[in-house]
Amino acid sequence: MLIRRLLLSAVLLGLSTPLWAKNVDLDYRVRFLPDTEQAEVSLTLEEGDAVISLAFNLGDDEMYSDFKTDDGQWTQNSSELGTWTPAKGKSTLSYRVLINHERSDGRFDARITEDWALLRGDDLVPSVKLRQKDKVKLVSRLKFDLPKGWKSVETGWPRVAKNTFRIDNPQRKFDRPTGWIVAGKIGTRRAKLGETDVAVAAPVGEGMRRMDVMTLLTFVWPHAQEVFPRDPDKLLIVGAGNPMWRGGLSAANSYYMHSDRPLVSENGTSSLVHELVHVFSRIRARDRSDWITEGLAEYYAIELMRRAGGLSEERYQKIREQLIGWSKPVKSLRTNNSSGPVTARAVLLLQELDREIRQATKGTTQPRSLDDVTRGLMRLDKASTKDFIEISENVMGSASEVLDNKLLR
């Protein structure tokens, strides 16, 4: 009976899954315009009638302008929403986008100069709601036309030709060029770490210590692989100096670091490793549980350095003392945006939970740790505090005293 049910399920799955899908080329083309601090972007569908419409979320900061299409139709009933209905046959939509974006007073998280551009592809092509015909698969490529004197371009996507990249994200119905991009007069260091092609790239003269970054990544990489069962095909780390934002920002297959930030800070943590954890884990939070995302990233920023031999036990205990002092005012971890003190208190709780799990499973056939909880969280689209507690107690095999805590209520 069980075999019959399995066979029936397989037949039904085959009937519900298309036996074939027609590939339709979608080509993105980007031309940087330093004089106007813009980029000109075009989307070309080889067969426009394969797509019914593309509805773009343009946001409310008026970054996008000059929309043009050939025989198709562009309708924009508000500044925040525009819809492209492609023409039959080959069809193109083009527009312009402002590059420079001030994240805080005088600090930028996207910038273009005469010699280089540093930005996220998410801004070049805004988020889209796609309506397409059945049995159609869009095959996306991203090509750059660089200004005179600009040498090269790097993205977090596989390179298929000069200044051309293949965009393929199985998690999305519509493939768009997300993640960090750096172009212009840039210098790059490359290495193969595990199964991942790693590139550290930055504009020339911006003080990015490419070799130092690659050395630290090489140092912690094997320990990160032991925790996170996920190897991106490619990883890009970009950076620049002032007036870029003085922090770290992760994105798809890539992250940004200000070139002046220390690779390992005086308190023993590493922004570089912190952002690496975000890229590897992809753990996102919901229901006022950002302490999970940021707490785990900072926990492993310390722990991976420790496992790699970069922190002595004495130094590790000093870091704990600093975390205790910094987090004293914290009364609750529940928040949508984890602050520094909240993240510090989350790290302490995670360290306590790791010890509790190890002690509870010591001497069993399957000793466990916080690593097992983290791998469980990676399977979720978004994690809540309730999810975290349930997975932790399932890993431990009993209720947790550490998590029976007013900080989590």
Confidence band, pLDDT 50/70/90 cuts, at residue 113: very high
* pLDDT value at 17 more than 80: no
* pLDDT value at 20 more than 70: no
pLDDT of residue 170: 77
pLDDT of residue 160: 96
Q: Which of 38-47, 190-199, 243-252, 299-308 has the lowest mean pLDDT?
A: 243-252
pLDDT of residue 169: 83
pLDDT of residue 6: 42
Q: Report pLDDT digits (tens) over 339-374.
A: 999 999 999 999 999 999 999 999 999 999 999 999
Q: Angle 196-199-201 (CA atoms, 0-180°, nearest 5)? A: 165
Residue 330 near residue 323 (C-beta atoms within 8 A): no
* pLDDT value at 28 more than 60: yes
Q: How far apart (Å, rounded) are the C-alpha atoms in residues 392 and 350? A: 11
Q: How far apart (Å, rounded) are the C-alpha atoms in residues 399 and 226? A: 26
* pLDDT value at 125 more than 60: yes
Q: Which of 8-17, 255-264, 308-317 has the lowest mean pLDDT?
A: 8-17
Counting beta carbons within 10 angstroms of the beta carbon of residue 192, is it exposed (0 to 12), middle (13 to 18) or buried (19 or more)?
A: exposed
pLDDT of residue 12: 41
Across the chain, what does the average pLDDT equal?
92
Beta bridge partners of 30: 41, 144
Residue (of 256, 258, 214) closest to 237 by Cα position: 256
Confidence band, pLDDT 50/70/90 cuts, at residue 3: very low
Confidence band, pLDDT 50/70/90 cuts, at residue 168: very high
pTM for the predicted model, two decimal places: 0.89
Confidence band, pLDDT 50/70/90 cuts, at residue 159: very high
Task: Output the six-digit token pair for 305.
Answer: 């350095």
- The order of strands in the sheet holding 73-78 is 73-78, 81-85, 51-57, 128-132
Confidence band, pLDDT 50/70/90 cuts, at residue 319: very high
* pLDDT value at 259 more than 60: yes
Q: Which domains are seen in the chain, by residue range?
A: 22-184 (2.60.40.3650), 283-408 (no CATH)
pLDDT of residue 186: 98
* pLDDT value at 5 more than 70: no
pLDDT of residue 19: 53
Confidence band, pLDDT 50/70/90 cuts, at residue 239: very high
